[in-house]
Structure formats: structure tokens, C-alpha cells
Structure 1
Amino acid sequence: MTPKSLKPKSPEDIERLARGGAILRTVLEEVAALARPGITGKELDAEAERRLRAAGAEPSFKGYAGGDGKAFPASLCVSVNSAVVHGLPTDEPLKHGDVVGLDLGCRYEGLFTDTAMTIFVGDEHDREKKNPIAHALIRATRRALQAGIQAARTGATTGDIGYAIGHLVEQIYGFSVVRDFTGHGVGYAVHEAPRVPNSGRPGEGAKLVEGLVLAIEPMVIASKNHAVRIAKDGWTVLAADPVLAAHEEHTVAVTAQGSRILTRRAAEMGVVLGLDYGDQRIGLAVTDPEGERALAHSTIPAQPFDAAVSALQRVIAAENVARIVIGLPLTLEGREGEQAQKTKEFAATLAERTGLPQEFADERFTSAAAEETAAAKGISPDAEAARLILEGWLVRRSRKIHDRA
């Protein structure tokens, strides 16, 4: 892959793609919510097209010509159970327990974005109990997407992305990734260079440059056999074995600060960074990509100030951080003192440098608890304090979501 064959996007183009991506992800979330037992793929397809057009976008798959020149007849790909990708919507009603991949693309302000998700038809909370293979498959595919996105940064290669995805799926989960179909560049067209494989070797493939926009899309089969075949309809890609398959996809921009997800869905919190700010040291913690656990990360010097901010920016890029939670040291009476003001000044600078959303969390009682638990774990008390701050924030967030439900 020569550099001339790649088509980096300007900052203005990336903002336009982000606007189109926001429309696309919203429509896909709405259509996924309609995917209940009894509805058909054709009905979901009609809804996807109607909602895209109502938002001022155009479906990009409908009429798109494949390698044989034949035009795809739908706006939405609906891939059910053993269908991996490119599933043609049908009149067959979905059933409880079906595993359904939904893939949607759009053209907005002249630019193209692409996103996909796999869902379990029925109560998602029953998925792990009633179909543990489907639960593990969907979880593996979503985690593989996050792994691929984290690997997409300036100076890396498409082989780095493929290795990150393939290693997680095949070595950790024991499933297989599809080799015959890949992700791709996107933006000025539905498909652009480079190909973005779901398996590969670090350092191989096209080198990623700032401004490159990629459709990263793990395609995972719930067996060791990665072979696929084309169905009689000429479009639907099926797993060669009669097993479940899953597909997740985001449009991602490669920036100087790391990868930027242009189609991030509302339900995807992303990695959250927790900070315990002090005059001498800053403790760091991060969540896992699903936002389920808080993990102690590291400790960095708080001075010199600019060096501390730069160090945090590197962590944010490396961990693909989407949000920051900062411990606010209130007095026992709940008031803000001198240290709280210093923390807020630091947070304001960090917000200006990163552009990431921030929240403050009361950290009055974390220091003493961190000293005790850090000693038992043999880790930095500052990083442990950050973990406790982040853990408390996750618990409060979960309660708010439960109360709203």
C-alpha cells in the first residue's frame, strides 16, 4: 500500500463526517430498539431508510454495486444467526433468541460513514443465562472492536489493528475472525483504501497517517473455522459451519491525539479515566471498555505542570479515553477549600487541552481507604485512590441508570 493510495481527510471533513456519524449511529440505535420478536428484516430496512432521509442523510448501501456490478437492493444489512455480513432483509419474522447483525451506512454532506452492531432479540439481560455462546460471541466482538480502535493511531499499521482484533478473538475467546472480508477506508466513498484486516502481524500493512478515516469491523464466528460462503441470494455471507456469527463496526478517524470514534453510540461510555490530583503526584485509574470495572493504572508527577498534562494526554491517547472523572477534595463539611480550587484549575487546563467531558467526584474518604488497600495489593496508594474514586462514580452512575429505568 503506497502512501499516495491513502486519502487522509482534512479537519473540516472529519467534523462533517462526525455530523453524519451522529445521524447514522442514532438511526441504527433506534432501528435496533425495534428489533423485537415478530418484526421482519424488511420492516427494519424500511424504517432505517425512512429515518435516515428524515434526518437529511441518504442510505449509502442501497444501489451500491458489488464486484460483479450487481446493486445491493436494501439500505440496511440484516444478518441473522449464521449470517456474518451483507445479509439481505427478508419477510421472515425475527424470533426470540436470534442473534442479528445490523449494518448501516449513510451519505451526509457528501461524505460517507458506516457502522454496525449485533444484538440479541429478546431481553438482553437473559442473554448470558439462556444463550451463553451468543453472550460470549457478542461480548468478544464488541471487545475486539475496542481493541482494534485502540490500535488505530498515527504511525501504527493495519497489521497492528488486525493483530489486536485477531489475538483477542482467537487466543482469548477461542472463536475465529473472518479473513475473506475486511474493514476499509471510508469517507469520500463507501469503500476506500486501505483494507483493514481482522487478523495480521504487528508492523505489517499500510501505515496509518493523521486524517485517515477507517471502518474497523470485526467479523467473528463462534467456532475455530473462519471459512465463509455466499448464500443463494448472492449477497449474504454465511459461516461455513452452522454456528452463530457477529459483526461490530465503527467509523474511526486517526488523529494526532489518537483514534476518534465518529459513530460512537450513546450506550457506549468508552474508557473513563479517573484522577486523584495532588500537589506532588497524580494517581490514575481507568475503566475497562464496557465500563464495568475500575482498574488502578499508574502514578505520574504533578510537577512540572505542563509535563503532567502532556503525560496525561499520552495516557488518554493510549487508552482511548472518552471521559475523565476527577476526585474533588472537599472538607469534612462538604465545602471546597484551597486544594479543591487547585484541582479545578488543573481540570480546566486539562479540559482545554483534551476537549474531553469531565465530572468531579467527592473524594473525602478515599485517601485513608486507599492507603490500606494499596498496601495489601502492593500498588501505589495514589493509583488506588484514583481507582476508588472511579469505582464510586461507576456505582453512582449505575444507580442513576437503574432509577431512570
Structure 2
Amino acid sequence: MFGRSRTSVVTARTPGELDAMEEAGRIVGRALVAAREAAVPGATTADLDSLVDQLIRDAGAVPSFKGYEGFPGSICSSVNEVVVHGIPGPTTVLQEGDLVSVDCGAVLDGWHGDSAWTFGVGELDPQVALLNQATREVLAEGILAMTPGSRLTDVSHALETATRRAEQRLGVTLGIVDGFGGHGIGREMHEWPFLANEGKPGKGPRLQEGSVLAVEPMLVLGGETDTRTLTDDWTVVTVDGSPSSHWEHTVAVTADGPRVLTVRPTD
């Protein structure tokens, strides 16, 4: 999925290319805001998918998830124990207290943006709300590690240590989902390298000004747990039914600090 490379640095994009990626990313951000506003009790994940698909196309872009390796939706809609890659459908009806992750991408003029946002339908259980708060904060800390000269696993380590700090600060037990993580992005939605959400620092290719990664922590409530993929070959769920949260931004390394390319009007 992520391709291969023997280079010692993550590919740099020009300032103009970063601007183009941000245009795609802004469309994704607006789509996620619209999805959150539409995620009310009684709505289906198919409703969210149709809304996002239309918004992206009306903006002159193409939903990058639709048809990707056969995926049937324009969003991944992952509810409660679904970690990632949930397929939107008319039978998944949202209820008060659900934790919903919407992940979507758009390609505009050949450049990709990719972002995920997890939110509650109405009021969340307090422990689930803490899980979601922690995941959001972990993403923010991981992004801060994207500086010129850092190595790839410096970001992984920042995500891991931020998770453990969040556990202590918020008084909640968290698990890092094994085997999933972020990735390079640009002309393709998934590019080299794969970015793990935990690991020792100081390894992997170096980041340089213009390097772009999709940073996406995925955490579960209650500690480490196994996951399994359903028979649709896409939907990944926690085996024990633990709720999961997933936050993602497409981020560029710059001399002035990390630049989020998938900005949202609000979060």
C-alpha cells in the first residue's frame, strides 16, 4: 500500500505543491465539518457518505476513498468499537452517545488531502469522552514532532509518549492499536513511508522542509486489545468491543513549524 523507497529522507514538496495540497485539504476539512453537523440520532452513515461525496464533488475535487482498492464509500465511518475502515450504509443508524469517526480524502488537481475526525452523537459516556480527548491531544503532540531533521520514528515516539502522558493526566487507560498508523501522502493517497503510532526514536528516514505525512493516532479505551477484520474485508473492530478513537491530519514540515494542510473551519 505504501510503496517502497531506499531514500534516507522523506520526499520534499515545493511551496507551491504544499499550497495545492492545502487546497485539497481544505475541502476535506469542510466535508468533515458537514459530516459532524449531520451526525444526529436517526441519521445513517450512508447519509453522511452521500453528503460528503456531494460536497467534495461540488468543490471540483474527487473523493479519493471511493473505489480505492475496491472500497465502496467516499468516507470511512467507524462507530464505537469500529477502529477504522467502516463501510457506510443505510442500516448503520446513529444513536445518542455513539462515538463516530469519519475519515475522508479528496484529490484536487492531482494532489491528495486526508483527514479523520472523531466526535460524539450527543453526549458521550465520560470515559469515552476522555478517550476522544486523549486521541485529539496525542495527534497535536505528534504533529509538533514534525520538524526539519527529525527522523520518522521521532514522530512515532512522540505519539506513544503523548498517549502515556494522557493516561496519567486524564486518569484513563488507553491502548494503541497495533499494526495501523500514518503514511506519506502527495500524488497518491498512501505513499512511503509508513508511520507507526509507537516506537523508539531516532530511526527511519529524516524529515526535511516540505516533507508531508498523514499523522493518525488510533486509541482504544481500556488498554491494549486485539482487533479483527470483518468478513467485508474492510471493517476493523476491537475484539472485546472496546470503543476506539481516530484523529488524523495531513501535515507538512516547514522551517516555521508544522503546517496542517487539512485545516477545518472548526474542531
Does the 8 Å CA contact 1:225/1:241 hold for their aligned counterparts?
A: no
How much has 1:5 moved relative to structure 2? 7.3
Q: Counterpart of 1:255 in 2: which secondary structure? A: coil
Of the three residues 97, 115, 132, the one matched with 1:138 is: 132
* Separation of aligned partners in 2, 1:60 and 1:156: 29
Q: What SS is found at the alignment partner of 2:203?
A: coil
Measured in 1, the distance between the counterparts of 2:134 and 2:72 equals 30
Matches within 5 A, 1:196-207: 196-207=195-206
Cα distance in 1 for residues equivalent to 2:115 and 2:181:
14
Q: Which moved more, 1:167-176 or 1:107-116?
A: 167-176
User: Which residue identity does 1:117 align to in structure 2?
Assistant: W
Once the two structures are TM-superposed, the CA of residue 224 in structure 1 deviates from its matched residue by 1.5
1:121 corresponds in structure 2 to 121
Quote the residue 1:172 is aligned against: 166
Q: Secondary structure at the match of 1:184?
A: strand
The amino acid across from 2:49 in the alignment is D
AA of the residue aligned to 1:242: G
Contact 1:115 1:249 in 2 (8 A): yes
Unaligned 5+ segments in structure 1 are: 66-70, 269-405
Residue 265 of structure 1 aligns to which amino acid in structure 2? R
Distance 1:236 1:132 in 2: 26
Once the two structures are superposed, what CA deviation does each residue of 1:300-329 show, in whole Å capped at 9, x if it has no partner?
xxxxxxxxxxxxxxxxxxxxxxxxxxxxxx
Letter in 2 for 1:191: H
Structure 1 partner of 2:259: 260
Q: Within 2, Cα distance between the matches of 1:2 and 1:209?
A: 16
Task: State how 1:357-376 maps to structure 2 within 5 Å.
Answer: none
Q: Which has the higher helix share?
A: 1
Question: Which consecutive unaligned segments of at least 5 residues does structure 2 have?
Answer: 168-172
1:162 partnered with 2:156 = yes
Alpha carbons 1:62, 1:74 under 8 Å: kept: yes
* Separation in structure 1 between the aligned mates of residue 227 and residue 211 of structure 2, nearest angstrom: 29
Q: Distance in 2 between matches of 1:249 and 1:110?
A: 21
When structure 1 is superposed on structure 2, of 257-266 and 143-152 the one drifting more is 257-266
CA distance in 2, matches of 1:31, 1:108: 20
For residues 11-22 of structure 1, what are the structure 2 equivalents within 5 Å?
11-22=15-26
- Residue 150 of structure 2 aligns to a residue whose secondary structure is coil
Q: Deviations over 1:279-312 (max 9, x none)?
A: xxxxxxxxxxxxxxxxxxxxxxxxxxxxxxxxxx
Check the 8 A contact 1:77/1:89 in 2, yes or no: yes
Contact kept in structure 2, 1:39 and 1:93, CA below 8 Å = yes
- Measure, in 1, the Cα distance between the counterparts of 2:81 and 2:140: 23
Whichever residue aligns with residue 179 of structure 1, its letter is D
Cα separation, 1, equivalents of 2:217 and 2:165: 15
How far the C-alpha of 1:165 sits from its partner, in A, is: 1.2
> Is the CA contact (8 Å cut-off) linking 2:184 and 2:193 kept in structure 1?
yes
2:30 equivalent among 22, 26, 30 = 26
Distance in 2 (alpha carbons) for counterparts of 1:171 and 1:27: 31
Q: 1:150 pairs with 138, 144, 149, which one?
A: 144
Task: Classify the secondary structure of the residue corresponding to 1:170.
Answer: helix
**Identity across aligned pairs (percent)?**
39
Matched, 1:103 2:97: no
- Give the distance between the partners of 2:257 and 2:165, measured in 1 at CA: 26
Q: Is the 8 A contact 1:166 1:176 kept in 2?
A: no
Aligned to 2:170: none
RMSD, matched Cα: 1.4
Higher relative contact order (CA 8 A, sep 6+): 2
Q: Which amino acid aligns with 1:221?
A: V
Q: What TM-score does the superposition give when structure 1 sets the normalisation length?
A: 0.62
Instruction: Tell me the secondary structure at the aligned position of residue 157 of structure 2.
Output: helix
Q: Which consecutive segments of 4 or more residues in structure 1 shift more than 2 A? A: 1-7
TM-score in terms of structure 2 length: 0.92
User: Secondary structure of the residue that 2:130 maps to in structure 1?
Assistant: helix
Matched residue type, 2:98: D
> What per-residue deviation string (whole Å, max 9, x for no partner) do you get for residues 369-388 of structure 1?
xxxxxxxxxxxxxxxxxxxx
Of the structure 1 ranges 258-267 and 4-13, higher mean CA displacement relative to structure 2 is found in: 4-13
Are positions 1:88 and 2:87 aligned together? Answer: yes
Secondary structure of the 2:237 match is strand
Q: Where in structure 2 are the equivalents of 1:43-58 lying within 5 Å?
A: 43-58=47-62
Aligned to 2:232: 233
Higher CA-based Rg? 1
* C-alpha displacement of 1:169: 1.6
Deviation string, structure 1 residues 12-49 (Cα, Å, up to 9, x no partner): 10010111111110111111110000000111101110
CA distance in 1, matches of 2:225, 2:140: 21
* Distance in 1 between residues matched to 2:216 and 2:246, nearest whole Å: 7
8 A Cα contact 1:2 1:206, kept in partner: no
